[in-house]
Amino acid sequence: MEIAPHYAPAEVEEKWYKFWLEKKIFHSEPDNRRPYVVVIPPPNVTGVLHMGHMLNNTIQDVLVRRARMMGRNACWVPGTDHASIATEAKVVNMLKERGIDKRSLDREEFMKYAWEWKEEHGGIILKQLRRLGASCDWDRTAFTMDPIRYESVIRVFCDLYRKGLIYRGVRMVNWDPKALTAVSDEEVIYKESQSKLYYLRYFVEGEDKYIVVATTRPETILGDTAVCVHPEDERYSWLKGKKVIVPSVGRVVPIIMDEYVDREFGTGALKITPAHDINDYNLGMKYGLPSIDIFNDNGTLNSEGGKYVGMDRFACRKQIVKDLDEQGLIEKIEDYVNKVGHSERTDAVIEPKLSAQWFMSMTEVAKKALEVVEDDTIQFHPEKFKNTYRHWLENIKDWCISRQLWWGQRIPAYYLDIEGRQETIVAETAEEALRLAQEKFGSTVKAEDLRQDEDVLDTWFSSWLWPISLFDGIRNPDNEEIKYYYPTDDLITAPDIIFFWVARMIMAGEEYRKEVPFRHVYFTGIVRDKLGRKMSKSLGNSPDPIGLIEKYGADGVRMGMLLTAPAGNDLPFDESICEQGRNFANKIWNALRLVKGWTVSDELQQSDDNAKSIQWMEQRMAAVLEGIEYDFDHYRLSEALMKSYKLVWDDFCSWFLEMVKPAYGSPVDRETYSATLGIFERLMCILHPFMPFVTEEIWHLLKERCESATIMLQHYPMSVFYDQRMLDDFDRTRELIAGVRGIRNSKGLSPKESLDLYVKGQHPSQFDGIVMKLANVGKIEAVEEKMDGAVSLMVGTTEYYVPMSSNIDVAAEVEKLKGELAYAEGFLASVMKKLSNEKFVNGAPEAVVNNERKKKADAEQKIEALKAQLKAFGC
């Protein structure tokens, strides 16, 4: 059989992915097996696959594939998020490009365009995930706005409203003047920026005196309704009860006194604009000040803006400063660094704004959600995120859930004007709303009288139901699927959505299933470039994932990412790491070429050495598997991968295959051959979760499997009892072989030149045949005394001699021995220091002391041997 020397991933990947899909290997139905469930963090329909997705989904796939091979009924549910603000913005842009203004459309027309856009672009990212090898159950692909999810959201809204957990109120909210909607506190990103601090003069009414007030937002003076100073601030006590004139506007406003004011900041006097600052709003409420809103929704000045009406807020700022300056009302302007809130989605500067919004009260649900993490019903990996989580939940504020958009679940609240009052009916459908309205207010109420709320719900108000709604557990809480698949097992996500999503899913789980939505949360790190910067479009430092897959193979990229990504650690991504993955795939590929190139003989008896080699490899595999199991149990995926990597590359390729490899032209016995294939096959199973494509391919080629088989249905190997003593003996043997090779290396001898080996002391002779083969040793014999004309090496306390045909370099040999002697003596001294310390001998545990005694004996023996050797050289 001819196999190319380089592994070519492209066609292999396409072939097997198609095969897995055809065989429906990824599909799950409830049965009597134990389920293993992961729900995907639904990427935004606007999203394009980036390195963060790659990392996150690779991790999910590793866990899912391993669980599947371990006999669990693995179900990984994919889907996308409708991302209301982001998508609506995309659609608006698309319309603009086509010359259509959103405002010229009605809701229905707009939604038609939006769905069109979604159908066209919304599935890209899921398709890209297939290239990575993601073993999602695509038959279950969901969307946060598909009928089941949509209805679930509406039901939950109604239910929470009835329970009194959802209410409508006029509050100060974060207004995004670009997207023209309110956003939640979590969607505001504070960025440090270079601002100015303007010192403005407010003249006292009827006097020629003034007070200076500092502000970063001079345009908001148009909405000023008071100036506040600290009641104990003696500088301003003369102002008590007086009124001042707002510059430019000429409005007369009172001086109020409140301890809220920081006397140290600015001039110690604060202008109060209740409509445009949360703190001012609070003070306004406290002192009954009027609230003057000076902005339109898009951030331009409204009719309260006087001569600035219609101007953009930032243009207005410039103009007003200029005007005030001309009037001599500016005392001074200072540079000032402060943090300004930006919208997460549009990056527009957030405007605090008073408006009627829907809120969900969080205090009660937060308590339960905190409890299940505190008591480890849900475990976080790494654990440190517990702190972040606790802090947020303990200081939680109500969640603003309404958005002034069209793309999303429309709030199922209906308004009805009755005798000048506005009544609110919350119902799942318009028909039900009408029925309820008629019951309450009489049959005269007609459908036209009901006006549905124009707003939609926050995207996260559908995402938080995801683990339940995916299995239709909101609408049909007792259906077989939700009972079987819920709660899910592991959630793999980035730490930046711990509040947006993780915490709220836990709340929803408690509220609607009385059970946590998952057992473990694995927080991945953030993928950065090698300079430590976040990957972003504007920096252009984000590699194209599909390009990487094409260059290194999906397996190579997966491995590269996982190798440097312990849970919670940021991942400084450098493309070259994928090379290691690619090289590894190639290494395995070539091991296959080697084994498949052997001729097999049925007559040939298995040698003892081959039997030993197999025995050792089996033991070794069992031991390493034990470690891998531990790593998976503790979500240490990079460690598990590294162990697998070394098991295959070092133990299997560098040692085992070299040990059993027949001499050129000679056949291998049947028994060894089968055992080798068996081991190889199991190694592929161990590796499969990490590198699904190359392992599937090799697994097939190894035994020329029938086409319908797949490695995915093989059992993941488990560790078994192993003989540690044998492994230790072999480690000594490895050391010996390396030592002999080292001698050859340093003496410039050819590997082809056979050497002899003499042993003084204890020696695990069971591996002698292997030593002879791998170190090219002709014979191994025991001796009693140091040998002349030989180079020596030590393994543990055993001495080995390799006679040299040519003269050996005495000086170099002496030098080497002296170095070893000095080290051994130093070591002995440190051991003696401990042993001569009475407190140590009495205080330390006996095992530790005995160990020190053994170290002492060994060191002494070694020193003696070294001295004897040196003496032989005449030193």
Partner RNA sequence: GGAAGUUUAGCUCAGCCGGUUCAGAGCACUUGCCUUACAAGCAAGGGGUCACUGGUUCGAAUCCAGUAACUUCCACCA
Nearer to RNA, 242 or 596 (CB): 596
Collapsing DSSP to helix, strand or coil, 709 comes out as: coil
Query: 853 near 829, Cβ under 8 Å?
Result: no
> Whole-number minimum distance, CB 402 to RNA, in Å?
19
Only segment of 100-108, 446-454, 493-501, 700-708 that touches RNA (CB under 7 A): 493-501
Is residue 701 within the footprint of RNA (CB under 7 A)?
no
Is residue 664 within the footprint of RNA (CB under 7 A)?
yes
Angstrom distance (rounded) from CA 835 to CA 855 = 11
Angstrom distance (rounded) from CA 362 to CA 515 = 18
- Binds RNA (CB under 7 A): choice among 658, 671, 813, 860: 658
* Backbone angle region of 115, left / alpha / beta, with phi > 0 → left and psi within -120 to 50 → alpha: alpha
Q: How is the beta sheet containing 520-523 ordered, strand by strand?
A: 379-381, 520-523, 490-493
How many CA within 13 A on the CB side of residue 353? Answer: 22
- Binds RNA (CB under 7 A): choice among 582, 620, 760, 763: 582
> Whole-number minimum distance, CB 424 to RNA, in Å?
29
Is residue 575 within the footprint of RNA (CB under 7 A)?
no
Query: 525 near 496, Cβ under 8 Å?
Result: no
Handedness of CA 480, 484, 487, 493 (dihedral sign): negative
Nearer to RNA, 664 or 721 (CB): 664
Nearer to RNA, 289 or 456 (CB): 289
> Whole-number minimum distance, CB 66 to RNA, in Å?
20
**Structure tokens given for 46:** 């606007």
Nearer to RNA, 15 or 339 (CB): 339
Buried b / exposed e along 826-847 (16+ C-beta atoms within 10 A): ebbeebeebeeeeeeeeeeeee
Angstrom distance (rounded) from CA 368 to CA 374 = 10
Nearer to RNA, 422 or 842 (CB): 842
> Whole-number minimum distance, CB 593 to RNA, in Å?
4
Nearer to RNA, 250 or 845 (CB): 845
> Whole-number minimum distance, CB 92 to RNA, in Å?
27
Angstrom distance (rounded) from CA 561 to CA 571 = 8
Is residue 7 within the footprint of RNA (CB under 7 A)?
yes
Q: In this structure, how many other beta carbons lie within 10 angstroms of the beta carbon of residue 31?
A: 9
| Per-position x/- string for 523-562, each x denoting binding to RNA as judged by CB under 7 A, each - no binding | ---------x------------------------------
Q: In this structure, how many other beta carbons lie within 10 angstroms of the beta carbon of residue 439?
A: 11
Nearer to RNA, 258 or 423 (CB): 258
- Binds RNA (CB under 7 A): choice among 171, 449, 452, 566: 566
Nearer to RNA, 477 or 751 (CB): 751
**Structure tokens given for 795:** 């393994």
Closest CA to 237 of 260, 271, 266, 269: 269
68: DSSP letter: H
Is residue 819 within the footprint of RNA (CB under 7 A)?
no
Residue corresponding to tokens 């972040």? 388
Q: What is the DSSP string of 181-212?
A: EEE-GGGEEEEEEEEEEEEEEEEETTSS-EEE
846-865 residues near RNA, rule: CB under 7 A: 848, 851-852, 855, 858-859, 862
Only segment of 79-87, 311-319, 424-432, 835-843 that touches RNA (CB under 7 A): 835-843
Nearer to RNA, 105 or 497 (CB): 497
Angstrom distance (rounded) from CA 408 to CA 348 = 21
Query: 682 near 621, Cβ under 8 Å?
Result: yes
Classify strands 226-229 and 527-528 as parallel, antiparallel or unpaired.
unpaired
587-616 residues near RNA, rule: CB under 7 A: 587, 590-591, 593-594, 597
393-452 residues near RNA, rule: CB under 7 A: 395
Q: Cα 505–143–72 angle (5° rounding)?
A: 65
Is residue 169 within the footprint of RNA (CB under 7 A)?
no
Angstrom distance (rounded) from CA 163 to CA 684 = 54
User: Residue 387 phi/psi, 5° resolution?
Assistant: -60, -50
Only segment of 40-48, 110-118, 424-432, 575-583 that touches RNA (CB under 7 A): 575-583
Q: What is the DSSP string of 567-583?
A: TT--EE--THHHHHHHH
| Per-position x/- string for 631-650, each x denoting binding to RNA as judged by CB under 7 A, each - no binding | -------xx--x--xx--xx
Nearer to RNA, 514 or 839 (CB): 839
174-213 residues near RNA, rule: CB under 7 A: 185-186, 190
Angle between helices 554-563 and 124-132 (to 10 degrees): 80
718-777 residues near RNA, rule: CB under 7 A: 737-739, 741-742, 745-746, 751
Name, in order, each residue with C-beta under 8 angstroms of 857's C-beta and a sequence gap of 6 or more.
Answer: none
497-516 residues near RNA, rule: CB under 7 A: 499
- Binds RNA (CB under 7 A): choice among 391, 440, 451, 725: 391
Whether omega for the bond prior to residue 803 falls within 30 degrees of 0, making it cis, is no
Nearer to RNA, 279 or 355 (CB): 279
Nearer to RNA, 435 or 867 (CB): 867
Query: 222 near 294, Cβ under 8 Å?
Result: yes
Nearer to RNA, 297 or 735 (CB): 735
273-292 residues near RNA, rule: CB under 7 A: 277-279
- Binds RNA (CB under 7 A): choice among 85, 249, 563, 712: 563
Length of the chain (residues):
875
Is residue 569 within the footprint of RNA (CB under 7 A)?
yes
Only segment of 23-31, 670-678, 821-829, 867-875 that touches RNA (CB under 7 A): 821-829
Is residue 129 within the footprint of RNA (CB under 7 A)?
no
Looking at residue 595, its amino acid is: V
Nearer to RNA, 86 or 561 (CB): 561
> Whole-number minimum distance, CB 280 to RNA, in Å?
8
Nearer to RNA, 447 or 848 (CB): 848
- Binds RNA (CB under 7 A): choice among 53, 65, 168, 217: 217
Nearer to RNA, 27 or 816 (CB): 816
Only segment of 32-40, 60-68, 258-266, 433-441 that touches RNA (CB under 7 A): 258-266
> Whole-number minimum distance, CB 520 to RNA, in Å?
17
- Binds RNA (CB under 7 A): choice among 387, 429, 479, 724: 387
> Whole-number minimum distance, CB 95 to RNA, in Å?
33
Angstrom distance (rounded) from CA 171 to CA 274 = 12
- Binds RNA (CB under 7 A): choice among 291, 355, 615, 654: 654
Q: In this structure, how many other beta carbons lie within 10 angstroms of the beta carbon of residue 755?
A: 21
Q: 3-state DSSP: the chain helix, strand, coil percent, rounded to 5?
A: 50, 20, 35
Name, in order, each residue with C-beta under 8 angstroms of 360's C-beta and a sequence gap of 6 or more.
Answer: 160, 165, 166, 398, 399, 401
> Whole-number minimum distance, CB 136 to RNA, in Å?
28
Only segment of 86-94, 95-103, 453-461, 824-832 that touches RNA (CB under 7 A): 824-832
Number of residues that bind RNA (CB under 7 A): 94
Nearer to RNA, 122 or 525 (CB): 525
Query: 412 near 423, Cβ under 8 Å?
Result: no
299-358 residues near RNA, rule: CB under 7 A: 338-339
Angstrom distance (rounded) from CA 620 to CA 722 = 8
273: DSSP letter: -
Nearer to RNA, 97 or 335 (CB): 335
Is residue 840 within the footprint of RNA (CB under 7 A)?
yes
